[in-house]
């Protein structure tokens, strides 16, 4: 009996959570746009010949074998130049970043992210994360019939779309949380991270080291053992905290998003890695999307609160809220008897 009670309790909480779930908000829109802008920065600021430079031991790029043949860099063969392909991807990402018609742009956005991730020869990791995020956002995008993802929804989301969207939203949060937790925990097995000196060497790295105009002060600060250890271990603790928060409640997810912005904003200021940092920040914003607190029924098929209000105030009826689909009271016209 105790097991049955627990199952019913879990089912009730899941039903309530599903009833409150709706990713059609500015939070989701901002996160998706930030990811698209990060991908745009790679294509806008880098010519095709630099993105597709040959790599020793791997041959020519783009590689169009197996599933990579679906990439925009491969379709059409030699009949289409690489620069026109790059500009095609730029246009797709510009439309996605603008927030126009999420239902119709979410799949082209995922295709563009896939094309960049599997075809360019010098990825930095952000391309793969962006691709995964774009594929996991497809169900939420298909459920979004708004003209712009900056607008409030005018209709309620159907229960089936709520369920599918919630499942993929949880998958997004688990995926991003795993990235941070795995990144932090695995670093403890590296000597420089474990003894707290990793940041000293990173700041002096020839490719990803401290950049101007902050290089002078950062290199000076890194001469202090206390500062170096604080920066190194602090980064690990923040990564763990972000991973835990993104798996928690709405308020804690927002705290995780703030820490994510601080962490990657600091990386941008000190070492660059703009596209990677923006992809991770956009992903954290998506993960922080709060539930929409509606007055929709959870499982009983009607809103008991609305029914009680109707009983106490005859002549008032519940009509759909044009912004969130919740039940809102409005005075009905009653003919005198």
The span from the CA of 25 to the CA of 94, in Å, is: 20
Q: Is residue 166 part of a domain?
A: no
Q: What is the DSSP string of 120-188?
A: -S---SHHHHHHHHHHHTHHHHHT---SBTTSPPSSPPPHHHHHHHHHHHHHHHHHHHHHHHHHHHHHT
What would the mean pLDDT of 89-109 be, rounded to a whole number? 96
Mean pLDDT of the chain: 83
Range of the domain at 236: 188-292
- Does 33 share its domain with 138? yes
Q: What is the DSSP string of 247-268?
A: TS-HHHHHHHHHHHHHHHHHHH
- Does 135 share its domain with 65? yes
- Does 206 share its domain with 114? no
Longest CA–CA span in the chain (Å) reads 89
Please give the model's pTM, rounded to 2 decimal places. 0.81
Structure tokens at 14: 């899941």
What phi-psi label fits residue 60: left (phi over 0), alpha (psi between -120 and 50 degrees) or beta?
beta
Cβ 31 vs Cβ 176: under 8 Å: no
Report the SS3 class of residue 231: helix
Q: Which pLDDT does position 53 carry in this prediction?
A: 86
- Does 80 share its domain with 28? yes
Q: Is residue 337 part of a domain?
A: no
Cβ 179 vs Cβ 144: under 8 Å: no
Q: Which percentage of the chain shows pLDDT scores above 90?
A: 50
The span from the CA of 258 to the CA of 236, in Å, is: 16
Q: Is residue 333 part of a domain?
A: no
- Does 228 share its domain with 140? no
Q: Is residue 8 part of a domain?
A: no
For residue 283, how far is the Cα from the chain centroid?
Answer: 3
Residues 5-59 pLDDT 10s: 766 566 666 666 677 778 888 999 999 999 999 999 999 998 888 888 888 777 7
Q: Which pLDDT does position 337 carry in this prediction?
A: 33
- Does 114 share its domain with 221? no
Among 137, 155, 173, the domain-final residue is 155
Q: Which pLDDT does position 265 carry in this prediction?
A: 92
- The yes-or-no verdict on residue 306 having pLDDT over 70 is no
- The yes-or-no verdict on residue 157 having pLDDT over 80 is yes
- The yes-or-no verdict on residue 310 having pLDDT over 60 is no
Q: What is the DSSP string of 66-119?
A: GGGGGSTTTTTGGGS-HHHHHHHHHHHHHHHHHTB-HHHHHHHHHHHHHHHHHH
Q: Is residue 180 part of a domain?
A: no
Positive or negative, the Cα torsion across 121, 125, 130, 136?
A: positive
Q: Which pLDDT does position 113 carry in this prediction?
A: 96
- The yes-or-no verdict on residue 89 having pLDDT over 90 is yes
- The yes-or-no verdict on residue 331 having pLDDT over 50 is no
- Does 241 share its domain with 127? no
- Does 35 share its domain with 150? yes
- Does 140 share its domain with 230? no
Distances (CA, A) of 10 to 15, 134, 244, 319: 9, 30, 22, 30
Q: Which pLDDT does position 62 carry in this prediction?
A: 87
Which residues partner with 230 through β-bridges?
A: none
**Among 193, 177, 195, CA closest to 240:** 177
Number of domains in the chain: 2
- The yes-or-no verdict on residue 325 having pLDDT over 60 is no
The span from the CA of 115 to the CA of 44, in Å, is: 15
Q: Which pLDDT does position 122 carry in this prediction?
A: 74
Q: CB count, 10 Å around CB of 214? A: 14
- Does 39 share its domain with 139? yes
Q: Which pLDDT does position 318 carry in this prediction?
A: 42
Q: Which percentage of the chain shows pLDDT scores above 70?
A: 82
**Among 199, 197, 217, CA closest to 208:** 199
DSSP class of residue 333? P
The span from the CA of 299 to the CA of 316, in Å, is: 23
Q: Is residue 14 part of a domain?
A: no
What would the mean pLDDT of 130-155 be, rounded to a whole number? 92
Residues 274-290 pLDDT 10s: 899 999 999 999 999 98
Q: Which pLDDT does position 6 carry in this prediction?
A: 63
More confident residue, 306 or 61: 61
Residues 161-216 pLDDT 10s: 889 999 999 999 999 999 999 999 999 999 999 999 998 988 888 777 887 787 88
Q: What is the DSSP string of 49-81?
A: HHHT--BTTTBSSS--SGGGGGSTTTTTGGGS-
- Does 148 share its domain with 73? yes
């Amino acid at each position: 009996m105790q097991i049955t009670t627990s199952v019913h309790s879990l089912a009730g909480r899941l039903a309530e959570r599903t009833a409150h779930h709706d990713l059609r908000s500015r939070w989701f829109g901002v996160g998706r746009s930030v990811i698209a802008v990060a991908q745009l920065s790679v294509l806008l600021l880098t010519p095709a010949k630099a993105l597709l430079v040959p790599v020793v031991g791997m041959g020519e790029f783009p590689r169009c074998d197996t599933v990579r043949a679906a990439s925009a860099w491969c379709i059409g063969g030699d009949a289409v130049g690489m620069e026109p392909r790059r500009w095609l991807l730029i246009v797709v990402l510009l439309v996605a970043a603008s927030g126009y018609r999420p239902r119709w742009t979410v799949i082209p956005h995922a295709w563009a992210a896939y094309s960049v991730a599997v075809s360019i020869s010098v990825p930095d990791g952000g391309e793969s994360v962006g691709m995964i995020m774009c594929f996991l956002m497809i169900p939420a995008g298909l459920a979004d019939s708004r003209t712009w993802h900056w607008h409030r929804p005018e209709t309620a989301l159907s229960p089936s779309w709520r369920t599918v969207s919630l499942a993929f939203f949880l998958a997004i949060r688990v995926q991003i949380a795993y990235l941070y937790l795995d990144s932090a925990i695995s670093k403890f097995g590296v000597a420089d991270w474990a003894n707290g000196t990793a940041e000293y060497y990173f700041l002096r790295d020839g490719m990803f080291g401290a950049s101007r105009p902050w290089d002078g002060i950062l290199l000076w600060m890194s001469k202090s053992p206390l500062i170096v250890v604080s920066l190194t271990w602090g980064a690990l603790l923040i990564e763990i905290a972000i991973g835990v928060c993104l798996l928690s409640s709405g308020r804690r997810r927002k705290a995780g998003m703030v820490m994510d912005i601080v962490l990657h904003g600091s990386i941008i200021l000190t070492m660059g890695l703009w596209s990677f940092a923006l992809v991770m920040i956009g992903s954290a914003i998506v993960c922080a999307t709060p539930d929409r607190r509606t007055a929709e029924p959870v499982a009983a098929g009607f809103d008991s609160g609305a029914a009680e209000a109707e009983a106490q105030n005859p002549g008032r009826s519940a009509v759909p809220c044009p912004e969130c689909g919740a039940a809102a009271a409005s005075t009905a016209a009653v003919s005198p008897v």
